[in-house]
Amino acid sequence: MRLAYLSLLLMLSACSTESRTPFVDLCAKTVKDYGPLRDEGPAEAYADLFTVDGEFHLGPNVTQGRDALIARHKAANTASVWRHNMTDIRIIDSEAGLSGNTRFHIFTGPKGGKPSAPSREIIGDYHDEFVIEEGGCKIKTRKVKIVFDSLN
């Protein structure tokens, strides 16, 4: 009986340790920081969430590298207001490396004027590959899968 109890205890503690590594926590923080930095910037802080050669995939379009990410951020935020809601953040720390799947819900609309209903609503998933560098977790690759888009 004691052996069975000890085995169960060891299995549970191994699961707990495996799923809560410091790297998992660092990457979850990166995902949580993404929304506010993507929506309000500054663009340089948004780009700092990615590796220097990080990639953002949206359909066939790939934005790669710090300068391109900054330019994309500034262009998207010039005429529109964005609000990213990040949910169901799952970070996986495996022998293959750090990865993640996060659901998002985005509202966007024109800048200026009175607050109004959003002109677009997008729901989908981010599929990420992460690396640990400079004491933090950085996005190496972020692939967007749009599930619902109010414009379509």
Average pLDDT for consecutive 10-residue bins of the chain (152 residues)? 46 43 94 97 98 97 98 94 96 94 96 84 98 95 98 84
Write the CATH number for 109.
Answer: 3.10.450.50
Residue for token digits 């749009």?
146
Query: Residue 9 has what pLDDT?
Result: 40
How far apart CA 95 and CA 8 sit, in angstroms, is: 24
Residue 98 lies in a domain: yes
Query: Residue 116 has what pLDDT?
Result: 80
How many domains are there within the chain?
Answer: 1
Residue partners of 22: CB distance under 8 A and separation at least 6: none
Residue 9 lies in a domain: no
Residue 6 lies in a domain: no
Task: Output b/e per residue, 21-54; b: 16+ Cβ within 10 A.
Answer: eebbebbbebbebbbebbbeeebeebbbbbbeeb
Residue 3 lies in a domain: no
Residue 55 lies in a domain: yes
Query: Residue 139 has what pLDDT?
Result: 98
Query: Residue 2 has what pLDDT?
Result: 53
Residue 112 lies in a domain: yes
Residue 25 lies in a domain: yes
How far apart CA 49 and CA 38 sit, in angstroms, is: 10
Query: Residue 147 has what pLDDT?
Result: 98
pTM summary value: 0.84
Residue 5 lies in a domain: no
> CA torsion 90→103→28→67, rounded to 10°?
130
Domain that holds residue 54: 21-149
